Amino acid sequence: AQSVAQPEDQVNVAEGNPLTVKCTYSVSGNPYLFWYVQYPNRGLQFLLKYITGDNLVKGSYGFEAEFNKSQTSFHLKKPSALVSDSALYFCAVRDLISGGYNKLIFGAGTRLAVHP
Amino acid sequence: KAGVTQTPRYLIKTRGQQVTLSCSPISGHRSVSWYQQTPGQGLQFLFEYFSETQRNKGNFPGRFSGRQFSNSRSEMNVSTLELGDSALYLCASSLAGEGYTFGSGTRLTVV
């Protein structure tokens, strides 16, 4: 079965420092990977995705992610964190095994706290 | 272009009642999927509709059902509400399974 793991419940970083939010996955075949961000009492906002191509994917709000097939990881990064980046971040993989093309499997989420 | 619209934003219902939530996808998107988000279980897939047909279903009891109309708008229904059904319900629309746009969600509270 396909799965996604976000090993950190919370990540704390000082404003201006680089940030990394970790994600590892387990899939059969080529993965479709996504990162979403959620602010309190809001839906999920799309940040970036990897389907094919360059391993370094650039997304919204200065975020990027690196796809590493050998380590089955898709870590989210940003060179310089902002206090406004504080939110809940979800990594997701598209599930193909179940036969449905449009089902996402989400990690448990990582809360990012950026301190002034 | 307009995003995914979910209505209502907030609902308070009593145990045993039923509730219907609505989702209007991005124009041209034929796939609508629903997710339940709770603090304990995280984000869990409910079901997906494509061209008015349920194409995939998650591991939820039969009290949870849905449908999709010819204009791709979707509704989900929960009957005989339980306290544990309190959650944020999110829908996502997709064009070809390579991108998923989520609505702002409906916050359901069962009392």
Tell me: the pLDDT tens digits for B10-50? 999 999 999 999 999 999 999 999 999 999 999 999 999 99
Residue with tokens 């940040």: A47
Q: How far apart are CA A18 and CA A77, in angstroms?
A: 7
H/E run at residue A104: strand A104-106
Strand blocks (E) in chain B: 5-7, 10-13, 19-24, 31-38, 42-50, 53-57, 64-68, 74-78, 87-94, 100-102, 106-110
Token digits for A86? Answer: 């504080």
- In the predicted model, what is the mean pLDDT of chain B? 94
pLDDT one-digit tens code per residue, A41-76: 889 999 999 998 899 999 999 999 999 999 999 999
Q: Chain B window 12-31: which residues touch A at a Cβ cutoff of 8 Å?
A: 31
- Give the pLDDT confidence score for residue B1 in this predicted structure: 62
Q: Which of A103, A110, A111 to mutate to test the interface with B (most CBs of B within 10 A)?
A: A103
Residues B100, A46: C-beta atoms closer than 8 Å: yes
| Pairwise CB contact (< 8 Å): A102 & B107 | no
Amino acid residing at A77 = K
Question: Which residue of B lies nearest to A90 if distances are taken between CA atoms?
Answer: B43
CB contact under 8 A, A46 and B102: yes
Indicate yes or no: CB of B107 within 8 angstroms of CB of A41. yes
